[in-house]
Amino acid sequence: MAQAKSVVLVTGGAGYIGSHVVLALLDSGHQVVVIDNLSTGARSAVDPRATFVLAEVEDVPTVTSVMQRAKAEAVIHMAASISAEDSLARPLDYYRNNTAVTVAVLESCLKAGVGSFVFSSSAAVYGAPPQPLIDETTVAHPATPYGASKLMSERIIADAALAHAIRHCSLRYFNVAGADAGGRAGQGPAARSLIKLALDTALGRRDLLLVYGADFDTKDGSGVRDYVHVADLAAAHVLVLQRLMSAAPVPEVLNCGYGRGYTVFEVIEAVRRVTGRPAAWQLAPRRPGDLAAVVADSTRIKALGWTPVYDNIEAMIAHAYEWELASSFREPARSEATETRPRPTRDRPRLPPKVHPAMAPQLGR
């Protein structure tokens, strides 16, 4: 495995998924440098054990210098625009922020001599596949500029790796949910995922949850999605990165999902069970491009040793709910650019940090 205390640079590490990946890296003994412009992330989301640099990821001279000074050995590139719906209205922004920025990060890696590269990709690259269970051999035909920007980035990474001997892997996320079990990180208030919106509705922050379509060919007519706990996804990053750094075989692309899905109505009911509060919902027309079911075949990554711990919709919702309750006690945000530590909480004891079980054997290395 990778040598303990190796330095990993994470772009976009102040975001929802990025902050959890940073935690997983730190918990497994790595030193971490985060580069983020805080356009959507929060400085307070970055664990204080990591080094934080406020910068534009596409600024090649600055990022190269940071890599060289830190002696970074690997990069996890997560900085991106992530809304498939928004990308339809602003396609050029997505090709700039996702694809062009990936080129810039690769240029920095080459200049700094970084040889291992993990890319944050998406199941959106598949578009509308002919079957609900999707493996990595499924033809990628993205239906949105967001998905296309990710697929283009994957191709660029593969071409650069072939020319410059970069070890790499692109992780295609399915529907990410949940929060750190120890309350150290979670989703921000602007998140638009189903579980986040359902919890906001149950907590009275929203009047209604819109259910887009109930006439799909599924068990209850609502759409089916494969939800993966953010902590299990973070553990997948650490596993893949360490294999890359130790020259162990790693496929170029890997699906990150559990291999089973839940309908929208099943998620709404699970929110009621976990919180004891119903989430009022209203039926709305299907959105263009919505699919009946999207489920990952994750055989490949599980064969590498990825063993999910939180493969349970109620665990994902419970951790997210705990985070949402805690957010009710947080003080109003100050300037994120000047924050150096997580904001204090009021009237709530701080939970001791919990380590994802997959990381625990590596502590103290």
**Of 159, 158, 173, 5, which is closest to residue 80 (Cα–Cα)?**
173
Burial class of 137 by CB neighbour count within 10 A (0 to 12, 13 to 18, 19+): exposed
Candidates 126, 146, 227, 262; catalytic one: 146
Euclidean distance between CA atoms 89 and 77, whole angstroms: 24
User: Please, where are the H alpha helices in 250-362?
Assistant: 264-275, 299-303, 313-327
Give catalytic status of residue 146 as yes or no: yes
Asked whether 281 and 209 are in contact (CB, 8 A), the reply is: yes
Give me 238's structure tokens.
Answer: 């650490």
Element (H, E) at 85: helix 84-89
The structure tokens 């999902």 sit at 257
Work out whether the CA dihedral 52, 54, 60, 62 comes out positive or negative.
negative
Euclidean distance between CA atoms 116 and 239, whole angstroms: 13
Burial class of 164 by CB neighbour count within 10 A (0 to 12, 13 to 18, 19+): exposed
Euclidean distance between CA atoms 266 and 273, whole angstroms: 10
Euclidean distance between CA atoms 180 and 165, whole angstroms: 35
Q: What is the number of residues in the chain?
A: 365
Give me 44's structure tokens.
Answer: 């307070």
User: Please, where are the H alpha helices in 165-298?
Assistant: 194-202, 230-245, 264-275
Our CA angle for 258, 261, 266, nearest 5°, is 135
Element (H, E) at 165: none
State the catalytic residues: 146
